[in-house]
Structure 1
Amino acid sequence: MVKPLGTHNYFVYILTNKNKTVLYTGVTNDLRNRLYQHANPEKKTSFTSKYNCFYLIYWERFPVVSEAIQREREIKGWRREKKVKLINDHNPKWKFLNDEI
């Protein structure tokens, strides 16, 4: 069944590792499932599995996939300092948000 226009959910998210030294930005339409996939990868060759990067520290929701993809690309193009400012503005203690999703 096709969802009515405006009822879709797309998420741009930032993950880190336990020591908060690595940042990974991604986009998905199912954030809870994607977090599970990052924490339990089928292959151990992905960036997130290589760096144990599966702790959610930031996310945004979008109703339109093109907007989410555009935002992901924008954030991926930023220097680390700008990503850190974005995270600090919304999650200053860098609390792991996985259990809140």
Structure 2
Amino acid sequence: MIWMWEAKAAPGRASGLRDWAIDALAGRDGEVYVSSQRGEDLVVIMLRTPPDAGMSVQTTGDTRCPLPKPPAELANGDPHTWQFEQVHPPH
């Protein structure tokens, strides 16, 4: 299972949110990306988990993401999460 986690950084806090995201991975299989577009700084985490991973911290609708919410002072609103299944290349 692959999770995409995306948060907007609070003004002037992009590097802090980026560093928090790196720490939030805690050695798990994933990457952190940053983007500055249209005056917004975004931090994205791509996290790979086993299909039966029982870690559920943040809830968005009926979808549970195994990543915590960032500290309020680092993010502008709640992060968005999506769950994906890899189809190509076959795994």
TM beyond 0.5: no
State the TM-score, normalizing by the size of structure 2: 0.29
Flag the structure with more relative contact order, 1 or 2, with Cα contacts below 8 A and sequence separation at least 6: 2
More strand per residue: 1 or 2? 2
More helix per residue: 1 or 2? 1
State the TM-score, normalizing by the size of structure 1: 0.27
